[in-house]
Amino acid sequence: MKVALVGATGLVGNVMCEVLEEQQFPISEFLPVASARSVGKIVKFKGKEYKIIGLEDAVAAQPDLAIFSAGGSVSKEWAPKFAEVGTTVVDNSSAWRMDPNKKLVVPEVNAEVLGAADKIIANPNCSTIQMVAAIAPLHQKYKIKRLVISTYQSITGTGIKAVHQFDGERLGKDESEFEKVYPHPIFNNCLPHCDVFYDNGYTKEELKLVNETCKILGDDSIKITATAVRVPVQGGHSESVNIEFENDFDIEELREVLRQAPGVIVQDNPSNNEYPMPLFAKHRDEVFVGRIRRDNSAPNALNLWIVADNLRKGAATNAVQIAQYLLDKGLLKTDMATETVV
C-alpha cells in the first residue's frame, strides 16, 4: 500500500521507519513528508533513498495510510485533508486524543473500538501507553478506583533538541553552542516539569495521564493524580504507579494476570536485582513491569514499577500496531492483489 510518514526527519519519525522495516509492514510506495525546509532532503528506508515531499504533494498522492509525528498544529490542519481524500491517519500528537469523535487506541487494550469509518485515529501519550498496557487487565479483574502516578521521563520525549542540550551540558559546552529547551540544566538533574504548567498547578503531561487513561479504559470513575518528572535518561520512561482497587487480590494471582497480558513482560525478582530499567528497555517494544507489591498503607492497594522505550511502544510501535490491526481487519483501503514490498 501507499504509506506517508509525516514528520519523517524527527526523532520519532526515524524510529517509525525502523519499526515499519522491522515489522515488515507491506508498503508498495513510501512517501516521507516533512516541513518546507526539509523538502528535497534524502531519507533512507529499507536500503533505498527517498526524497522528502511537502504536505500538499502528499495529500495529492492520496496514500492509503498516513502516520503523523509532526506536532499538534500540523495534525490539526492536515490530518482532515488526508482524511478527505480517503487516507486513514494514525496521529501521534495530542491534537485528537480527547476529541470525543476520535478513537484513542492502545491495540492490546482497546483495538476493537476501531472501524472502517475511523479516518483519524489518535495514538496516546507515551507515558499513558505503557501504563495502560500494564494496568488494563488489572482493571478488568479487580476494578481500579484510584491511581497515583509518578513518572521519570526520558529526555527523548522532548525531542532531538533536548538530546542536544543534554549532550552539550554533559560535554561542558558553552550554552551558545546548543539550543536550550529546558529552563534549567538537565544533565545531572531532574526537572518536575514536563510540558507547560496550567493554572491548577499541574502540567499538560500530568493531565494527559489523567484524561487519556480514563478514555482508553472507558471509565471516568477512576480517580487519578500524577507528577511527571524529566530525568537525564535516553532509554525510556519509568513510572511508579500506586493502584487502589475496589476488590481485593491475591498477589500471586495478580502477577499471573500481568504475565498473561499481551505486550507485557514481568521482571520481578528483587532478590536477584531483577526489575525493569530504561537502560535495558531501550530498543524494545514490550512494556516491563516489576516491584510488584502490596501497599500495606491502604486496603486493596498495589505498587508497580513500569518501564518502556518511549520512542517505540510509547510512540512508533504503537502507531504501527494500530496500522497493522487496521490492515488485518480489512479496514484500510488498499489493493492487496497488486501489492509489493519495498
Q: pLDDT of the chain along its 342 residues, tens only?
A: 999 999 999 999 999 999 999 999 999 999 999 999 999 999 999 999 999 999 999 999 999 999 999 999 999 999 999 999 999 999 999 999 999 999 999 999 999 999 999 999 999 999 999 999 999 999 999 999 999 999 999 999 999 999 999 999 999 999 999 999 999 999 999 999 999 999 999 999 999 999 999 999 999 999 999 999 999 999 899 999 999 999 999 999 999 999 999 999 999 999 999 999 999 999 999 999 999 999 999 999 999 999 999 999 999 999 999 999 999 999 986 554 333 333
Question: 196 and 290 share a domain?
Answer: yes
Structure confidence at residue 332 (pLDDT): 86
**How many other C-beta atoms are found inside a 10 Å radius of the C-beta of residue 46?**
13
Question: 98 and 194 share a domain?
Answer: no
Question: 20 and 150 share a domain?
Answer: no
Question: 160 and 279 share a domain?
Answer: yes
Structure confidence at residue 339 (pLDDT): 38
Question: 329 and 296 share a domain?
Answer: no
Question: 135 and 110 share a domain?
Answer: no
Instruction: Find the CATH number of the domain harbouring 138.
Output: 3.30.360.10
Question: 147 and 290 share a domain?
Answer: yes
Structure confidence at residue 336 (pLDDT): 42
Catalytic residues: 126, 237
Output the CA torsion 91→93→99→105 (10° steps). 60
Question: 246 and 112 share a domain?
Answer: no
Distance CA 162, CA 154 (A): 10
Q: Are 87 and 33 in contact (CB under 8 A)?
A: no
Please, what is the angle between helix 11-22 and helix 317-328, to 10°?
A: 40
Q: pTM for the complete prediction?
A: 0.95
Structure confidence at residue 334 (pLDDT): 59
Question: 266 and 322 share a domain?
Answer: no
Instruction: Find the CATH number of the domain harbouring 58.
Output: 3.40.50.720
Find the domain containing 33 and state its range: 2-124+315-338
Question: 87 and 199 share a domain?
Answer: no
Question: 183 and 304 share a domain?
Answer: yes
- The count of domains in the chain is 2
Question: 30 and 150 share a domain?
Answer: no
